[in-house]
């Protein structure tokens, strides 16, 4: 308990909201990347915030600049601490000031521009996190190692395979976990010289390279010195700050061996969500001690009628009459009509229920109901919030489809993404 109190008083967390999120388009067309719904009832930002709260770090800043309205609303309605607590989750949006007239130019610049807002908060360490990763991690263990070793900067690392290594910043550490060198997205030709001792279990799985997770724990004075004095023009942590810090500071690796994935594009987002439907998912939503927190909604239980369910999870408030759902994630307030078959899909759900009067009005105007209609076939698709899918619609995603963008939908890596609020008319065919 004493250690936990020490953490809460010593550490503040800064969550980076990311850039425009172009690789997650069209999910980021009207919302920031941390605000993208995940697992049917959460937002991406809930993951790092929940990890912090579970680690007794309850002073949290979220840095944003793109499409931040829905993110602001979500955080405001979700994270409200007791009046007797010092905890908070605050949004720090990019702003023009006399000192800076520019938007955030990178991860390091975002933190630098936000430091003035931290001046009235007492802290000794800064935990910097990404807002677009899926993992469950106890930062308390990382902090205790960091403090015990007297480290200036601790970088959370995860062992990866040769194939994966080319997509990450790769670190080389010595026997005492001191990081001695760093390279950003190395080519296959130089990879052999970047092998690290990742312990026997990881090595047996071919995971011989230490990848940076983009999770940094800085001593306060070291961070301020790096950002404001030594590298005051640096824009990015991975490309500029970290390589420089390794030369003159004690920088250590904290090796994490659990599940972690970077939600960088539509494909990784899709697979991360469908991975939750496995019998034993790598990301455990049913963990007693590592809860994922989100906005509390007073929704009824979901109702299923005559539906065959295989490896499917459904959030609250759904009304399902579908014939079959297989390997699906079904979001809040989703309606699905009779005779519909859905396979390998993430349906994000709806923000409201339509009343009987609304449904009658829709029918009079020939507009499909919110949700998915009758006798549809949908495969390999993401259906964004508040979409209306008519009756007898066929959506067949897969590798046979080329990447393209349309008014109603986008295709990326064989995944059909129905855009937010769009109406797909009766009998419409994709693929």
| C-alpha–C-alpha distance, residues 75 and 242, integer Å | 30
Asked if pLDDT for residue 376 goes beyond 60, the answer is: yes
Q: What is the DSSP letter of 178?
A: B
Among 238, 259, 277, residue at a domain's last position: 277
Which tokens sit at 378? 């949908």
Kindly give, in sequence order, each residue whose CB lies less than 8 Å from that of residue 158, ignoring residues fewer than 6 positions away. 210, 211, 213, 255, 256, 257, 260
pLDDT at 345: 98
Instruction: Decide if 140 is inside a domain.
Output: yes
In tens, the pLDDT along 219-259 reads 999 999 999 999 988 998 988 999 999 998 999 999 998 99
Q: Is there a single domain that holds both residue 32 and residue 98?
A: yes
Number of structural domains in the chain:
2
Q: Is there a single domain that holds both residue 264 and residue 187?
A: yes
Kindly give, in sequence order, each residue whose CB lies less than 8 Å from that of residue 120, ignoring residues fewer than 6 positions away. none
Q: Is there a single domain that holds both residue 248 and residue 309?
A: no
DSSP string, 306-343: S-EEES-EE-TT-EE--SEEEEEEE-TT-EE-TT-EEE
pLDDT at 98: 52
The number of residues making up the chain comes to 431
pLDDT at 92: 85
Instruction: Decide if 240 is inside a domain.
Output: yes
DSSP string, 282-294: SS-TT-SSS----
| C-alpha–C-alpha distance, residues 225 and 65, integer Å | 25
The pLDDT of 365-378, averaged and rounded, is 96
Instruction: Decide if 292 is inside a domain.
Output: no
238, 214 Cβ separation under 8 angstroms: yes
336, 372 Cβ separation under 8 angstroms: yes
Phi-psi region of 409 (alpha: psi -120 to 50; beta: other; left: phi over 0): beta
Instruction: Decide if 83 is inside a domain.
Output: yes
pLDDT at 1: 40
pLDDT at 2: 43
The pLDDT of 399-427, averaged and rounded, is 97
pLDDT at 102: 65
SS3 169: strand
150, 217 Cβ separation under 8 angstroms: no
Instruction: Decide if 224 is inside a domain.
Output: yes
Helices within 157-283 (DSSP H only): 162-165, 200-204, 220-225, 242-248, 266-274
CB atoms within 10 A of CB 279: 5
Q: Is there a single domain that holds both residue 27 and residue 118?
A: yes
- Estimate to the nearest angstrom the gap between the alpha carbon of 225 and the chain centroid: 30
In tens, the pLDDT along 157-179 reads 999 998 889 888 899 988 888 99
Q: Is there a single domain that holds both residue 210 and residue 244?
A: yes
HSE, CB side, 13 Å, CA atoms: give it for residue 126. Answer: 23
Among 261, 277, 293, residue at a domain's last position: 277
Instruction: Decide if 153 is inside a domain.
Output: yes
Q: Is there a single domain that holds both residue 79 and residue 158?
A: yes
Query: Which of 195-204, 222-231, 310-319 is the least confident region?
Result: 195-204
Q: Is there a single domain that holds both residue 258 and residue 396?
A: no
Backbone angles phi, psi at 32, to 5 degrees: -75, 160
Asked if pLDDT for residue 35 goes beyond 60, the answer is: yes
Asked if pLDDT for residue 415 goes beyond 50, the answer is: yes
165, 186 Cβ separation under 8 angstroms: yes
> Strands 59-64, 88-93: parallel, antiparallel or unpaired by DSSP?
parallel
CB atoms within 10 A of CB 116: 11
Structural domain of 179: 2-277
- Estimate to the nearest angstrom the gap between the alpha carbon of 257 and the chain centroid: 19
The CATH number of whichever domain residue 108 belongs to comes to: 3.90.550.10
Angle at CA 72, nearest 5°, toward 347 and 137? 70
In tens, the pLDDT along 258-282 reads 999 988 899 999 999 999 999 999 9
| C-alpha–C-alpha distance, residues 256 and 343, integer Å | 33
| C-alpha–C-alpha distance, residues 260 and 32, integer Å | 21
Instruction: Decide if 293 is inside a domain.
Output: no
The pLDDT of 116-145, averaged and rounded, is 92
Asked if pLDDT for residue 103 goes beyond 70, the answer is: no
Q: Is there a single domain that holds both residue 326 and residue 270?
A: no
In tens, the pLDDT along 37-91 reads 999 999 999 999 999 999 999 999 999 877 778 888 899 899 988 877 888 999 8
Please state, for a pLDDT cut of 70, what percent of the chain lies above it.
Answer: 95
| C-alpha–C-alpha distance, residues 140 and 55, integer Å | 5
Q: Is there a single domain that holds both residue 237 and residue 316?
A: no
Q: Is there a single domain that holds both residue 386 and residue 257?
A: no
pLDDT at 5: 55
CA-to-CA separations, 227 to 16, 101, 110, 235, in angstroms, rounded:
16, 18, 10, 9
The CATH number of whichever domain residue 395 belongs to comes to: 2.160.10.10
Instruction: Decide if 290 is inside a domain.
Output: no
Query: Which of 328-332, 335-339, 355-359, 373-377 is the least confident region?
Result: 355-359
Which tokens sit at 395? 């959506």
Is 223 buried (19+), middle (13-18) or exposed (0-12) by CB count in 10 A? buried
Q: Is there a single domain that holds both residue 208 and residue 308?
A: no
SS3 95: coil
pLDDT at 105: 77
Q: Is there a single domain that holds both residue 182 and residue 322?
A: no
Taking the whole predicted model, whether its pTM rises above 0.85 is answered as yes
The pLDDT of 299-307, averaged and rounded, is 96
Identify the band that residue 214 occupies on the pLDDT scale cut at 50, 70 and 90.
very high
Q: What is the mean pLDDT of the chain?
A: 91
Q: Which residue has the tokens 């312990």?
A: 199
């Amino acid at each position: 308990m004493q250690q936990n109190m020490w953490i809460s008083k010593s550490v503040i967390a800064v969550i980076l909201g990311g850039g425009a999120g172009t690789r997650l388009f069209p999910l980021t067309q009207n919302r920031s990347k941390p605000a993208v719904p995940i697992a049917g009832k959460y937002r991406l930002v809930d993951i790092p915030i929940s990890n912090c709260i579970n680690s007794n770090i309850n002073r949290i800043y979220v840095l944003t600049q793109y499409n931040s309205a829905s993110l602001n609303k979500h955080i405001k309605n979700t994270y409200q601490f007791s009046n007797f607590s010092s905890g908070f989750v605050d949004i720090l949006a990019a702003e023009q000031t006399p000192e800076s007239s520019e938007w955030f130019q990178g991860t390091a610049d975002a933190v630098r521009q936000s430091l003035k807002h931290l001046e009235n908060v007492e802290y000794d360490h800064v935990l910097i996190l990404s807002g677009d990763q899926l993992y469950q991690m106890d930062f308390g263990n990382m902090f205790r190692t960091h403090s015990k070793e007297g480290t200036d900067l601790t970088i959370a690392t995860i062992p990866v395979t040769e194939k994966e290594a080319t997509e990450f910043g790769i670190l080389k550490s010595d026997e005492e976990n001191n990081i001695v060198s760093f390279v950003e997205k190395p080519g296959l030709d130089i990879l052999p010289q970047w092998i690290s001792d990742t312990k026997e279990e990881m090595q047996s799985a071919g995971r011989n390279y230490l990848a940076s997770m983009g999770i940094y724990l800085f001593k306060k004075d070291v961070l301020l010195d790096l950002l404001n004095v030594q590298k005051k023009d640096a824009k990015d942590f991975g490309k500029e700050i970290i390589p420089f810090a390794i030369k003159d500071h004690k920088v250590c690796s904290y090796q994490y061996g659990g599940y972690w994935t970077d939600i960088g594009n539509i494909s990784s987002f899709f697979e991360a969500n469908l991975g939750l439907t496995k019998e034993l998912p790598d990301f455990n939503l049913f963990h007693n001690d590592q809860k994922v927190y989100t906005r509390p909604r007073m929704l009824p239980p979901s109702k299923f009628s005559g539906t065959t369910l295989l490896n499917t999870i459904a959030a609250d408030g759904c009304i399902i009459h579908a014939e079959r759902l297989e390997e699906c994630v079904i979001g809040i307030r989703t309606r699905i009509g009779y005779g519909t078959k859905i396979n390998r899909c993430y349906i994000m759900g709806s923000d409201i229920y339509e009343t009987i009067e609304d449904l009658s009005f829709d029918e009079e105007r020939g507009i499909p109901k919110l949700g998915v209609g009758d006798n549809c076939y949908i495969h390999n698709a993401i259906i964004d919030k508040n979409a209306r899918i008519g009756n007898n619609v066929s959506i067949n995603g897969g590798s046979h489809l080329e990447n393209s963008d349309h008014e109603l939908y986008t295709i990326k890596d064989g995944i059909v993404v129905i855009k937010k609020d769009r109406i797909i008319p009766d009998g419409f065919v994709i693929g």
